[in-house]
Amino acid sequence: MDTQIRVSTKALILRDNAILLVEYDDESGLHYNMPGGGVEPDETLEETLKREVQEETCAEVEVGQPLIITEYEPKRNAFWGGTRHSLTVIFECRLTGDTEPQMPQKPDPNQTAVKWIPLVDLEKVELLPHVTDHILAHANKQENHYPIYLCEPINPDKVQKYL
């Protein structure tokens, strides 16, 4: 098992009551992620986020405050999300310039689309990490004590799906 903790960033981008998500279809099935990815050596969290959003959606963002920090610990989660311990920082972001999110010419493996998902439909999609309730609360201005720390809970449905 890898003993290094993977640090990554995600961009929470809201516009017109919708959230920008990247769609993936792989061995785990159809699911969505907020744009973002792993921190590389000599890179800040903000630099990582700007680079990853550009790579995955062809858009530029202004990075705001951290909203949610999630931790995934493999043993506590029956390894449903892999064997690597990870820490993800989700930042509030907004699109800048004249860029409009779109599918890149060279997408990530298994990336199938870049979509605006209406917030009213967010509970209907498989969003990873599992922060849908917190996103909706933030969008509805029901949570304002940031950042929120979440340790990815065991979800028996997910354990069966990913084993």
Q: Count structural domains, the chain.
A: 1
Do 68 and 144 meet the contact criterion of CB atoms below 8 Å apart? no
Residue 1 in any domain: the answer is no
109-139 burial code (b ≥16 CB/10 A, e <16): eebeebbebebeebeeeebbbbbbebbbebb
Q: Please report the pLDDT score of residue 139 as a whole number.
A: 92
Residue 88 in any domain: the answer is yes
Q: Among 106, 110, 147, 125, which Cα is nearest to 19's?
A: 125
What is the extent of the structural domain holding 139?
Answer: 6-162
Q: Please report the pLDDT score of residue 5 as a whole number.
A: 87
Residue 24 in any domain: the answer is yes
Which tens digits make up the pLDDT trace of 67-108? 999 888 766 655 555 667 889 999 999 999 888 999 999 998
Position 126 pLDDT exceeds 50: yes
Residue 33 in any domain: the answer is yes
The rounded percent of the chain whose pLDDT value lies above 90 is 61
Q: Please report the pLDDT score of residue 154 as a whole number.
A: 45
Position 20 pLDDT exceeds 70: yes
CA distance 121 to 117: 7
What is the three-class DSSP state of 93? strand
CATH code of the domain covering residue 40: 3.90.79.10
Residue 13 in any domain: the answer is yes
